[in-house]
A and B are shown apart, each in its own frame.
Chain A
Amino acid sequence: GESVGLHLPTLSVQEGDNSIINCAYSNSASDYFIWYKQESGKGPQFIIDIRSNMDKRQGQRVTVLLNKTVKHLSLQIAATQPGDSAVYFCADPYSSASKIIFGSGTRLSIRP
């Protein structure tokens, strides 16, 4: 089965609000996590990654938080824009022999 799972299949947010997409993992030995974004009609695109020696990592308008105690990670998108509409995937390559195994993702839609 999957080693990571997104909590919600869909998420709708108001434009300008912050978005939080949550993901749980099962393997306490996992040491590396990745987030991908897939816009309609395109291949997935790497957003950000985090290693288990960190609790937080920031990119441009995105922040990933890692809580190893409860085996949970989240992707936060600040000031959500229409261009953020996409399906978001979290992945745990450690548990899949260094491959990226995608689940079904969370579809983020933006309300104007």
Chain B
Amino acid sequence: DTGVSQNPRHKITKRGQNVTFRCDPISEHNRLYWYRQTLGQGPEFLTYFQNEAQLEKSRLLSDRFSAERPKGSFSTLEIQRTEQGDSAMYLCASSLTSNTGELFFGEGSRLTVL
């Protein structure tokens, strides 16, 4: 297994467009997390899944954001009607339920909204 994979790595879009990011976690990991990180800040928690169930969403996750993990494997994060403030690195991580302290992160998807 090659670790957590995210794509696209970079996305440039115009304000108002929709974007979707995909995350493929480590195969045996049943937990999957999404974080957002802006320059100079630590990653901000957005949401996480236990298998296909979305167990928690941060207040940061406005109704323009939606995340899914339909079969308990890969996950998508969609941002509708993008705004310039959505420009950030979107990080995905996965873990075993038995060891939720050790997250394995992907290299992120960088979004630039013009």
Interface, chain A (partner B; CB < 8 A)? 32, 34, 41-46, 49, 87, 89, 91, 93, 96-105
Q: How far is the CA of A32 from the CA of B108 in the complex (A)?
A: 27
Q: How far is the CA of A98 from the CA of B98 in the complex (A)?
A: 11
**Are A100 and B105 neighbours in the complex by a CB distance under 8 Å?**
no
Q: Does B77 contact A (CB under 8 A)?
A: no
Interface, chain B (partner A; CB < 8 A)? 4, 33, 35, 40-45, 48, 56, 91, 93, 100-108
Tell me whether A101 and B100 are in contact in the complex, defined as CB-CB below 8 angstroms, given that A42-B107, A43-B107, A44-B105 are known contacts.
no
**Are B106 and A43 neighbours in the complex by a CB distance under 8 Å?**
yes
Residue in A45, A46, A93, A103 whose Cβ sees the most chain B Cβ within 10 Å: A46
**Are A93 and B106 neighbours in the complex by a CB distance under 8 Å?**
no
Q: How far is the CA of A105 from the CA of B42 in the complex (A)?
A: 6
Point out the residues of chain A lying under 8 angstroms from B35, CB to CB.
102
Q: How far is the CA of A72 from the CA of B38 in the complex (A)?
A: 27
For A44, the closest partner residue in chain B by CB is: B105
Closest 9 A/B residue pairs (Cβ): A43-B105, A102-B42, A46-B102, A34-B101, A102-B43, A105-B42, A104-B42, A43-B91, A49-B101
Q: How far is the CA of A10 from the CA of B16 in the complex (A)?
A: 37
What would 27 A/B residue contacts be, using CB atoms closer than 8 Å?
A32-B101, A34-B102, A43-B91, A43-B93, A43-B106, A43-B108, A44-B91, A44-B103, A44-B105, A45-B105, A46-B101, A46-B102, A46-B103, A49-B101, A93-B101, A99-B48, A99-B56, A99-B100, A100-B100, A100-B101, A100-B103, A101-B45, A102-B35, A102-B42, A102-B44, A103-B42, A104-B40
Q: How far is the CA of A93 from the CA of B33 in the complex (A)?
A: 14
